[in-house]
Amino acid sequence: MNIVVCMKQVPDTETKIKINPEGRGIVTEGIKYVMNPYDEYAVEEALKLKEKFGGTVTIVCMGPSRATEAIRTALAMGADDAIHLNDPAFEGSDSVTTAKILAKAIRDLKYDLILAGKQAVDFDCSQVFACLAEILDLPYASVVTGLEVEEDQKSATVKRETEGGIQEIIEINLPAVIAAQKGLNEPRYASLPGIMKAKKKPIKEMNLAALGMDANEVGEEGSKLKTMNYSLPPERKAGKKIEGEPKEIVAQLVTLLHVEAKLV
């Protein structure tokens, strides 16, 4: 079974984000970058399917040169090879344009399944892989917490979360695009032998020309969604501390909830 995993490198969720002076992006100096957490579940699921059915796992990642580190992490986990979509022209691409770039790289690959995380934790759009499925004319399921591929590898049973915590179970034809949610599996750690082997595994770099795309199709110029500026959330107001005897505290709290918060 040949599986493609779309993966993204993102800032570590514990990183303190600062807006750059121009207000059009973030300060990148000093930021620790990691594999997108939801993509870890996609990589792990691909490896489990490979162990069951055989085949190959190919990582496809769009990002600058630093993204190689995250790609090597996926290779160290057990993926076989990778495609790195690396060109300054790609910067600023919105969800639809990103999907078009990924589709160009994936279209000529031999694959039975495309896996990805349900969203990237930097922009949280959750749109790229619905767009990718539409472009490639494939079935799509997101927020997936369970995946069982049939022995003939022509269909799969998918469990997915819906709003309100209800679980939905659907059957989907393969090939398809599946976007993983937390709980699908427990991602493995890269072993030392895996890390050593990853250094020798091939990473194919592809730029704008290699994909056969024009500059006006990608980046900010090729995107419908334009980012005007960035801003941090407003600071929260300081909380109130109520002191005194328990009866006094309760009385004050009820009054505040009624008068200020208007909750009771």
Q: What is the CATH number of the domain that holds 38?
A: 3.40.50.620
Q: Specify the pTM.
A: 0.86
Cβ contacts of 27 within 8 Å, gap of 6 or more: 17, 18, 19, 20
Give the range of the structural domain holding residue 248, as residue numbers without chain letter: 237-264
Question: Token pair of 134, please?
Answer: 């539409």
- Same domain (yes/no): 82, 180: yes
Q: Has residue 231 been placed in a domain? A: no
HSE value, Cβ hemisphere, 13 Å, CA-based, for 3: 27
- Same domain (yes/no): 179, 259: no
- How far is residue 66 from each of residues 10, 26, 72, 207, 235, measured CA to CA in Å? 10, 16, 11, 15, 32
Task: Going residue by residue through the chain, which has 264 residues, state the pLDDT in tens, using 9 for 90 and above.
Answer: 999 999 999 999 888 888 888 888 888 888 999 999 999 999 999 999 999 999 999 999 999 999 999 999 999 999 999 999 999 999 999 999 999 999 999 999 999 999 999 999 998 999 999 999 999 999 999 999 999 999 999 999 999 988 877 789 999 999 999 999 999 999 999 999 999 999 999 999 999 999 999 999 999 999 998 888 888 888 888 888 888 899 889 998 898 888 887 877
- Same domain (yes/no): 166, 251: no
Q: Has residue 228 been placed in a domain? A: no
- Same domain (yes/no): 123, 38: yes
- Same domain (yes/no): 243, 169: no
Hey, what's the torsion of the CAs at 127, 132, 138, 141, to 10 degrees?
-30
- Same domain (yes/no): 90, 141: yes
- Same domain (yes/no): 212, 242: no
Q: Has residue 227 been placed in a domain? A: no
- Same domain (yes/no): 35, 97: yes
- Same domain (yes/no): 120, 249: no
- Same domain (yes/no): 157, 257: no
| Three-state DSSP class for residue 263 | coil
Give the C-alpha separation, 169 to 48, whole Å: 20
- Same domain (yes/no): 252, 204: no
Overall number of domains in the chain: 2
Q: Has residue 16 been placed in a domain? A: yes
